[in-house]
Amino acid sequence: MKLQTIKSKKGTNVMYQVLIHLILIALIFAMFFLASVNKVNSRTVKQQVLEKQTALLIDSAVSGTTISVFKNNKYGRIDDLHVKEGKVYASVDGLAISKGYPYFTKYSVSVDLDGDKWYVRIK
């Protein structure tokens, strides 16, 4: 059996169309990938993750527990961390405080800054 090559113009045009479609699909995929990477690594997402993790720790803590959070951690520099009306609020890398993340506990919760750590105290 012999391999036949495409010699007609019609076959060549089809090949170019398929090639162009593949390039366009690759470009669109790359744009979506870059957009999602930028969103995942944004300061807003890191701030929301920090608020959520702190709230979940408060939810699972018992009276007398103290949670320490470093000011400089993997989420960035924590400029402000406080609790108010059943929500945890954090400011990371100078980003304005967001809408907060709710926590549910029957204990009293307070946040203090001492040196390079934030202390969340559950009483």
Cα distance between residue 75 and residue 40, in whole Å: 12
Say whether pTM exceeds 0.75.
no
**Residue 101 · residue 55 · CB < 8 Å:** yes
Question: What is the model's pLDDT at position 1?
Answer: 47
Ordered mean pLDDT values, 10 residues apiece, the chain (123 residues)? 53 82 94 80 82 93 92 86 92 84 92 92 93
Question: What is the model's pLDDT at position 60?
Answer: 92
Cα 63 to chain center, whole Å?
Answer: 30
- Token couple for 102: 């709710």
Question: What is the model's pLDDT at position 10?
Answer: 62
